[in-house]
Chains A and B, each alone.
Chain A
Amino acid sequence: DAKTTQPPSMDCAEGRAANLPCNHSTISGNEYVYWYRQIHSQGPQYIIHGLKNNETNEMASLIITEDRKSSTLILPHATLRDTAVYYCIVRIPQGGSEKLVFGKGTKLTVNP
């Protein structure tokens, strides 16, 4: 199973871009990179996912390096409501098992 490594915490000023890194050096060719976040004990919220190409949606952008060993989640204009724990997850294909394996994530604090 591919493992991910994220910094335990980060700070960002309100209105600035938040760039959250994730290392997944043992990712295999058919595994996707997913990002979820959990705001203060609420249910996790899906943000974005990608396989090879960079992706963008209304919430964030996902930049995946060419060798796919790392990625960066970008929140272009962070707000106070973006304060949360952000999880980088590599999807584990296990022949019918679709579980998500959550690590410790990055606690992002957006400061006014």
Chain B
Amino acid sequence: NAGVMQNPRHLVRRRGQEARLRCSPMKGHSHVYWYRQLPEEGLKFMVYLQKENIIDESGMPKERFSAEFPKEGPSILRIQQVVRGDSAAYFCASSPLAGGSYEQYFGPGTRLTVT
């Protein structure tokens, strides 16, 4: 059973470009979470999605960031007009069900560098 997959693993963008980060959850998991880790800092929650629904986006910056988890295909975190402060590691996690004690399984992350 493959784990959570993220691609690309490394992404370099110039200021003003768009970044698209993909996350394929573990088989059978229908809940996806995105977290961001700035250099030398801890992980911060960004958004929680189920298939075709955003459940909690309380950690998403108000502008330039969006996320989706379509019925088919991976979850996408999209950052428009990237700035240097967006340089970070972006981790995706998935779980089979929400609530109770179901743990989240994390992917290897995408390292975004904005030049």
The interface of chain A, by Cβ under 8 A from chain B, is 32, 34, 38, 41-46, 49, 51, 87, 91, 93-94, 96-105
The secondary-structure label for the interface of chain B is: strand
Residues in B whose Cβ lies below 8 Å from that of A101 = 45
Q: Is the CB of B33 within 8 A of A98?
A: yes
Say whether B103 contacts A46, CB under 8 Å. yes
> A98-B31, A100-B104 known; A41 and B89 CB under 8 Å?
yes
Q: Which residue of A lies closest to B107 (CB)?
A: A43
Also in contact, A96 and B55, with CB within 8 A (given A49-B103, A105-B42): yes
Please determine whether A102 and B44 come into contact, CB atoms closer than 8 angstroms. yes
Contact of B45 among A51, A96, A100 (CB under 8 A): A100
Chain B residues 86-105 with CB under 8 Å of chain A are: 89, 91, 93, 95, 98-99, 101, 103-105
Say yes or no for B38: interface residue by CB 8 A criterion: no
- In the complex, what distance in Å separates the CA atom of A101 from the CA atom of B104? 12
Contact yes or no, B91 A98, CB < 8 A: no
**B59 touching A99 by the CB < 8 A rule?**
yes
With A43-B108, A44-B43, A97-B56 known as contacts, the answer to whether A34 contacts B33 (CB < 8 A) is no
Whether, in the assembled complex, B106 has its beta carbon less than 8 Å from a beta carbon of chain A, the answer is: yes
Q: In the complex, given contacts A32-B101, A41-B89, A43-B106, what are 20 additional A-B residue pairs having Cβ atoms less than 8 angstroms apart? A: A38-B43, A41-B109, A43-B91, A43-B109, A44-B91, A46-B104, A93-B99, A96-B55, A96-B56, A96-B98, A97-B58, A98-B33, A98-B55, A98-B99, A99-B58, A100-B45, A100-B93, A102-B35, A102-B43, A104-B42
Residue of B43, B45, B59, B95 most packed against chain A (CB within 10 A): B43
Q: A99 contacts B106, CB within 8 Å?
A: no
* Residues of chain B with a CB closer than 8 A to A46's CB: 103-106
A99 CA to B31 CA, complexed, in Å = 11
Q: Give A101 Cβ to nearest chain B Cβ, in Å.
A: 7
Known interface pairs A43-B4, A46-B103, A104-B42; A97-B108 also in contact (CB < 8 Å): no
